[in-house]
Amino acid sequence: MKPILVIGMGVVSAIGLGKAKTLEALLANRSGVGELKYLKTEHKEFPVGEVQLTDAEMRKRLDIAEDAVTTRTALMGMLALEEALADARLTQEMLPQVGFISGTTVGGMDMSEQFYLDYIHGEAHKEYIAAHDCGSCTEMTAKRFGKFAFVTTLSTACSSAANAIILGANMIRCGEADIVVVGGSECITKFHLNGFNSLMILDTQPCRPFDATRNGLNLGEGAAYLVLESEESAKKRGATAQALLSGYGNACDAFHQTASSPDGEGAFRAMKEALELAGLQPSEIDYINAHGTGTPNNDVSESQAMKRLFGDKVPPVSSTKPFTGHTTSASGSIEAVFSILALQNGFVPVNLNWSQAMEDGVVPVSQPTKKALKHILCNAFGFGGNDSSLLLSNADFSLNRHCGLDPQSPKRQEPVFVLSAKQISIQQPLSEDWMQNAEIHETPFTRSIDPSFKDYISPIEARRMGKILKRAVATSKEAIKAAGLESVDAIITGTGYGCIENTEFFLDALSTEGEQLLKPTYFMQSTHNTISSLVAIQTKNHGYNATYAHKGISFDSALQDAWWQFQLGQINSALVGGHDEMTDTFYHILKKGGVMGMDDEKCGEAAVSVVLACEPMSHVFEPFETSLLDKSALRQAQGPKALCKLIGFQMLHNPSQNALVDAVATLLQSAEKSLADVDFILTGMSGNHEGDRAYREEAKTLFGDKPLLRYKHLFGESFTASGLGFYVAAQCLKAGRVPASLFVDAKEIRDMQPKCILLYNRSDGKNVSLTLLEA
Amino acid sequence: MDELIYTLKQQIIEALNLEDMKPEDIDENASLFGEGLGLDSIDALELIVLMEKNYGIKLKDPSQGKEIFKSVAVMADYISKNRTK
């Protein structure tokens, strides 16, 4: 690939606020890990790497009122983002051309864990309910600085920020964006401190990655953002590179929900892909900033992966976790900043606290080392085996390198074929019968009708899975089968609230029984990426794997990720999912917080799995040929015909009327269509009066008198209901007809043989996605 | 001892969510991990929680579980010798 410029960065962690303080601490070998000071917990026995500011002090620095709704993750995010934007000389006026992609997993959990019982029983603190999810955290962080062109949130546990960097880079390489701000933020919460404790992977001593006596990790917190820019754009603006992102890889270990494989398969593939994308040899890597958490399991697995890739010539390695603790979702970008500081200042950060080599492990750098560095691999691995690796290079690394994969110039976007779509909802599960007999349910909150899961999951595996996981596995396996494939190149999932049932169990125990004897099963199923990684484990898939958690555009974000990777030619097939479950308690809470269930809005649950491919029939395309072996094993037998084609996609954040008009024009133009070709607009109108009015008003300006159809009254509103919209549109195009139930009122019903449908989704009145599908 | 073994089987079924099983279905001498019931590392952590909750036994190091959780009978024996409640 053509390297992408890093033109600015900002960071906050236990070792300091800002780049200068961070560099000083790294050079002085000064750890920020110490006794727990700020988090209110009874577990004082664990050392942690806390950012040395209270919430109140951060509010004061940022001039945020004491009673304004915000969370610690958002506050740290703002501190880092402020520095990054200033460092890149990005002004507020420029932001409508800039994207913002952030990674987090805890979101607003620091508040939810304090106020959970109030949320259920009272009125106090209910304004914080809407700040619980990951997407809200990203939007709170972004809002302070102005209006970004688009925002979304990656949630792949401890590799979230690294995957945010990867999405940003893909969008720049496609020419979809010139500048994208990428990274992540995460504060320590009682929730995950207790969760990690239930998994028995926390050390009561300072962590010692790659040491024979290592006994677990220390939790940390912080945030970091990088400003990525294309070479052309930077040249035009006169912006200079601080470093280059010259490669990256994302692979799934597909081994276990919380443990890494003994041979480090996922880590090995992620690092190997990063080298290949950059066109570099293993011998050209000068330093590896390892994930190196200090748990017995990670360090064995990562050592194996490095030895497999580098043989007996493993470059200097260190883990910087002893400086900061494990900053979980933010670690990918925080450590990318550390790596860039190392490139700029010519030193290898020391692996603190190391003294004794572990069996079969790498021997890390334990003494201060001054050394000119050209290329650094920076690893970030997450639960479920979401492994990513970034390749960062010195700013003077030749920009003229080009290794084939990038589109040379903007071109017409290639269509992507929808080979299959399967859903579980309140309508007939896993079948297409709903078009004949769609039932309208009158209750405000309905649960999905589940099929028997016995055909998809063995009882010993199923006993630990929440319903969201069973539905995801069943729809995924059905969709892959219906597509006539044995495997896919990528598994990408969207979920607004993730595994909320297990989150509730864990929060409930934490709030009512206290911080002892919590069940690890609940915790390991509370992370959003459990869904996508479990599907990978169940389908033995080592390919690209990512999870988006951004409110009502979670499915759309997953679709967008796949769309750009298809445009780059990085994948030939993808499984895109949208999964959300609901519980009685959380429905009650979210209704109280004004998040859902307003007016006539009915709520439901959603599980949708869609298989996309670069060719209309599975037998036509060859296995994906890269030097990565068996990246996908596409069967060459005759497959079923595609349901329809995805011919265009756009996502916007808080757009002005003009921006929306432009987006629709661009969408149609790049698909070589005009508005006259579109048969109808399938809207996400849900029965929320204000929301539906906005849909109608906007649609009038954008689409004139095109018929507006809806689907949420059949399925209920859920965070990934837009995935069901995609499913409905695909079925209509395949069948060549539109069920009467989709029309808003009987007067409009007409005989229609749709050829082209525009899906129009607004979430929270802020995020808009436009998806163009053709028969 | 038989009573403890029976109670322990009930507690294991509940803690590990072995929905379709009854205490009679578990052979107290069969291995819990691998070949026998087919449990994994997360189940081992759940058994550690179970022992602390019901019998006041605190394991500091998860690797201790390897010996103790060989079978229900071994586990019961360990509990009867070390229980604090």
> Residue A637 pLDDT > 70, yes or no?
no
pLDDT at A260: 95
For A249-265, write each residue's pLDDT tens digit: 999 999 998 899 999 99
For A300-334, write each residue's pLDDT tens digit: 999 999 999 999 999 999 999 999 999 999 999 99
Shortest distance between the Cα of B45 and any Cα of chain A, in A, equals 7
> Residue B15 pLDDT > 90, yes or no?
yes
pLDDT at A628: 34
Q: Contact, A212 vs A358, CB < 8 A?
A: yes
Of A272, A255, A206, the residue nearest A383 (C-alpha): A255
Secondary element (H or E) of residue A653: strand A644-653
A326 is catalytic: yes
Cβ within 8 Å, pair B45-A520:
yes
Cβ within 8 Å, pair A460-B38:
yes
pLDDT at A619: 47
ipTM: 0.92
pLDDT at B60: 82
Query: Smallest Cβ distance to A463: which of B17, B45, B53?
Result: B17
pLDDT at B61: 83
> Residue A188 pLDDT > 80, yes or no?
yes
> Residue A41 pLDDT > 80, yes or no?
yes
A256/B contact by beta carbon, under 8 A? yes
pLDDT above 70 covers a percentage of chain A that reads: 95
For A164-186, the three-class secondary structure string (H helix, E strand, C coil) is: HHHHHHHHHHCCCCCEEEEEEEE
Query: Which is more confident, A63 or A442?
Result: A63
pTM: 0.95
> Residue A121 pLDDT > 70, yes or no?
yes
pLDDT at A407: 58
Size of interface A-B (CB pairs under 8 A): 40
- Across the range B14-25, mean pLDDT stands at 89
The span from the CA of A434 to the CA of B77, in Å, is: 57
What are the E-state strand segments in A319-415? Answer: 347-348, 369-370, 375-382, 386-394
Over chain A, what is the mean pLDDT? 93
A134 is catalytic: no
Residue of A nearest to B20 (CA): A459
Query: Smallest Cβ distance to B46: which of A259, A459, A521?
Result: A521
Both structure tokens of A619? 């037998």
For A438-455, write each residue's pLDDT tens digit: 878 888 899 999 999 999
pLDDT at A206: 98
Shortest distance between the Cα of B74 and any Cα of chain A, in A, equals 22
For B31-85, write each residue's pLDDT tens digit: 888 777 778 889 999 999 999 999 999 998 888 888 899 999 999 999 999 999 8
> Residue A749 pLDDT > 90, yes or no?
no
For A649-694, write each residue's pLDDT tens digit: 999 999 999 999 999 999 999 999 999 999 999 999 999 999 999 9
Query: Which of A505, A521, A522, A537 to substitute to test the interface with B, most B CBs within 10 Å?
Result: A521
Residue of A nearest to B17 (CA): A463
Residues of B in contact with A463 (CB under 8 A): 16-19
Q: What is the CA radius of gyration of chain B?
A: 12
- Across the range A723-730, mean pLDDT stands at 96
For A561-614, write each residue's pLDDT tens digit: 999 999 999 999 999 999 999 999 999 999 999 999 999 999 999 999 999 999
pLDDT above 90 covers a percentage of chain A that reads: 87
The span from the CA of A287 to the CA of A375, in Å, is: 7
A158 is catalytic: yes
> Residue A404 pLDDT > 70, yes or no?
no
> Residue A627 pLDDT > 60, yes or no?
no
Q: What are phi and psi of A588, to 5 degrees?
A: -60, -45
Cβ within 8 Å, pair A524-B49:
no
Q: How confident is the model at residue A620 (pLDDT cuts 50, 70, 90)?
A: very low
> Residue A434 pLDDT > 80, yes or no?
no
Cβ within 8 Å, pair A519-B46:
yes
Cβ within 8 Å, pair A518-B18:
no
The span from the CA of B23 to the CA of B80, in Å, is: 19
At A425 the three-state DSSP class reads coil
DSSP one-letter code for A633:
-
Q: How confident is the model at residue A171 (pLDDT cuts 50, 70, 90)?
A: very high
DSSP one-letter code for B45:
H
The span from the CA of A389 to the CA of A272, in Å, is: 9
